[in-house]
Every structure is written in structure tokens, then in C-alpha cells.
Amino acid sequence: MTELTINPDRLWDSLMELKQIGAYHDEGTGLQGVRRLALTDADAEARRRCVQWMLDAGLEFRVDRIGNVTATRAGTDRSLPCVLMGSHIDTVATGGAFDGTLGVLGGIEVMRALNDAGIETLRDVEVGFFTEEEGVRFGTDMLGSAVTAGRIPLQHAWQLTDIDGLTVKSELERIGFDGPTPERRPAPHAYIECHIEQGPILADADVPVGIVEGVQSISWQRLTLHGEAAHAGTTPIGSRHDAGLVAASVVVELRRMCDSGDYGQLRATVGTFDIGAGQTNVIPHRAMLTIDLRNPVDDLMTRAEKDLATYVDTLAHQHGVSAEWERMAKTAVIPFDSRVQDLLADTAERLGLGYVRAMSGAGHDAQEIAAICPTAMVFVRGEYGGISHTPREYSTPQACADGTRVLGNAVLTLANQPAAAQEPQ
């Protein structure tokens, strides 16, 4: 079987070049980070850079109505569904150089390697990047891929706003990525996403790559508590309607729930915590916090949400505070295609790379695309415990190359499967 050979130095150079777009100095770590929120000027510049690399590789590119960009390397039978690679290039506000970006630039490197080797494939091979995967700017993660897969209607996505009231649609138009291509694409033959692990499992197992079995359930909610402002010195403790106290108690309760074991491998994070009044001598009349829950078992996630809501309602009533919930995002556990997983595992073995199988703790575009075609992911090992969403995020050149080798060789196998071959289920 032909082995596709990638150019590790070329891949690394692309990663290092793209990380300069949106670069900032992070005072907390003293390192250079990447701040490239979706549809900002930095994102637009990074998009243009990636499109140029696609064109340099001789690919045909298109932009759809939610701003997703896809580039195609033609196969010999263009009537067959393509094999798709992809990820995202937007970052969180304190991002690193590898999250999402590796999957996109790794996919472009696979295209370059196919060109270098003069390899023709039966099926088209495509690489793309999806709009607003992180959800930081417009409040909905995996936005572009969710629109493509049909979970989120385009009109709803267009109307989402950022903190300044700017809509997705207006920002797509402003940066020139409001494309004409329909957002609902034909189902690919298969989709594979290469991504940094963002955790310690691969390092703990001392293996270079991971085969991802699926993505755990994710719940994002915004809780706003309404109390009553009053004088901090003259209002008796028993007479207070302290929204800040209730909010702080919720944070502690979330940690207790995680530690209890009653909800399996529940993980809870309060990523935003805002206290109204903002004055030293005034009891807070309002508190807002965002709650991120993760669980690999849907039933345990449902129980955790229900018990948390009961706790909040009871505590709020005790303190004369009202609670207002807003659902930001919710996805069930998404299992990935077993046959594509097995192909990735076989490919890693053929290349002499050790691997483990694991669930993803983070959300990915792959979980959306899994609704329309057989899908799987390959994880790449990270340093420093796999830390991510920080400038300390780092995978070595060898790690990036290893993951991309698995990606490229699995894609090559899929791209030469004839129409009569059984599709992975």
C-alpha cells in the first residue's frame, strides 16, 4: 500500500506563520498568544492566508453562506462523494497556535503531499474550515458546522450578535466571506478531523496519537440572579436579598456535584462571573454566571442539570432572589463511526505509531458533521499536560507531523474506495 509522505518542516512553517496573525503578548504567561475571534479582522486575514495556500496547492475553493471555506482536489470520478478534512482557525481570546489550526493546515499539507507524490485519487479530496467553532464571539460554538449539518438554521445563525450588537451576517459581509454557495452541502463519503488532544491522556499513556471514539455531552447555560441592592452596613444579614451570595453558592455546589461521584465524570466550569452594583458598600442586586457542564453519559448529564436547577430554585427562594436561566448550547453524546475509527487505528499501526482510544472532553466540528456522514478524529499529543486555550498550548513538530501522517494516509485509503465499497456505518 502506498504511504503518503508529508513534509514536517513545511507543515510547521505554516503553523508558525499563521500564529502571527492575531498574535498578542500574554502578560500572565509572558508568552505570545493568539487572539483571533471569529469574523474579526484577524480572522479575516487568517482566512485569506489559508485560501492563498489552498490556491497555491492548485485547489478549487468556495465559500458558503455562513462563511465556511472548502477547497477541493479533484478525483478521477467526480460523481462520487468526496472525502473531507477540516477544523477551524478562530481562537478563544487567550488562544494558542494549534487548536483547530492543526486540522486545517494539516489538511492543506496532505493536499501538498498528494501533489508532491503525483498521486491521483478516485474521489475528490476536500479540506475546509468552519466559522465560529469556539463560540466566544457570538455565543454559539460549532456554529458553521452546525449550520452545514442542519442543526442550526442559517437565518438564526445570521442574526446572532456579539457583545457590541454586531450580527454574524453583517460581519460576514464586512470581511468579505458572505459566500454564495449553499450552506447545506452534499454528504461526504467520510470526514476526518485532526486536532490537538487538549488533555493529558496521550502523554500519560506515552503514545503520539489518539483515536477518538466520540464527543461527550455539552451543556452551556447562563444563570442571572436578581436580588435587591441595599446598604452594606445598615442592612441586617437576615434581611438581605444578596444575588452575589447565591451566585457564589452555586459555584461551590457545582464543585461538590463533581466531587460527589453521583454524576459520573461530570465536569463543571463557571467561566464568566459578573456581579451587579460593583460597589464595595452595596449588596449586589444582580449576578450573572455561565455554567459549562460536560458528561460522557447523557442520562447523568440530564440528572445533573435537573438537580442543579432544583438547588438554585431552593436557594434563590430562601434568599428572596429570582433566577433566570438562558440556554446557550446543548449537545448530546456523539459517538463516532466505528469503521472510520478502525481505519485510523490500522493506519497508525501501519505507520508504527502507538495510540489509545478515548472520548473527547471538548466539542469539535466533527460532532456536527457526524450527523451527515461517517466521521472520526485523530488526536495529537500536547505538552504540559495537553493544556489548551492558553498561550502555553504546544505540540511538538514531531507530534503535529505524526497526527497529519495518520490523517493523510487514512484519507488516501478512503479516497480510493470505489462506489461499490460499503460505506462506513
- % residues pLDDT > 90 (the chain): 95
Q: Which of 272, 284, 287 lies closest to 235 in space, CA to CA?
A: 284
What are the tens digits of pLDDT across the range 169-212?
999 999 999 999 999 999 999 999 999 999 999 999 999 999 99
What are the tens digits of pLDDT across the range 247-276?
999 999 999 999 999 999 999 999 999 998
**CA gap 146, 128 in Å, rounded:** 14
pLDDT of residue 424: 46
What are the tens digits of pLDDT across the range 24-57?
999 989 999 999 999 999 999 999 999 999 999 9
From the centroid of its chain, how far is CA 236? 47
Terminal alpha carbon distance of the chain: 24
Q: Residue 277 — very low, low, confident or very high, per pLDDT cuts 50/70/90?
A: confident
Q: Residue 146 — very low, low, confident or very high, per pLDDT cuts 50/70/90?
A: very high
pLDDT of residue 222: 97
pLDDT of residue 190: 98
- CATH assignment of 217-331? 3.30.70.360
Give the torsion sign (CA, 359, 360, 366, 372).
Answer: positive
Q: Which residues of the chain form CATH 3.30.70.360?
A: 217-331
In the predicted model, what is the mean pLDDT of the chain?
96
pLDDT of residue 1: 72
Q: Is 300 a residue whose pLDDT tops 50?
A: yes
pLDDT of residue 422: 47
Binding residues: 88, 99, 134, 195, 389
pTM of the entire predicted model: 0.87
Q: Which residues of the chain form CATH 3.40.630.10?
A: 8-216+333-415
Q: Which stretch of DSSP H or E encloses residue 193?
A: strand 190-196
Q: Is 423 a residue whose pLDDT tops 80?
A: no
Give the torsion sign (CA, 375, 380, 385, 386).
Answer: negative
Q: Is 285 a residue whose pLDDT tops 80?
A: yes
3-state helix, strand, coil in the chain (%, to 5): 35, 25, 40
Q: Tell me which fold the domain 8-216+333-415 belongs to.
A: Aminopeptidase (3.40.630)
**CA gap 97, 17 in Å, rounded:** 10
**CA gap 103, 68 in Å, rounded:** 15
Residue matched to cell numbers 479582522: 41
88 vs 67, 108, 186, CA distance in Å? 12, 13, 20
**CA gap 131, 73 in Å, rounded:** 21
Binding residues for Zn(2+): 88, 99, 134, 195, 389
pLDDT of residue 420: 64
What are the tens digits of pLDDT across the range 309-352?
999 999 999 999 999 999 988 889 999 999 999 999 999 999 99
From the centroid of its chain, how far is CA 182? 23
pLDDT of residue 273: 97
- Residue 270 DSSP label: E
Q: Residue 294 — very low, low, confident or very high, per pLDDT cuts 50/70/90?
A: very high
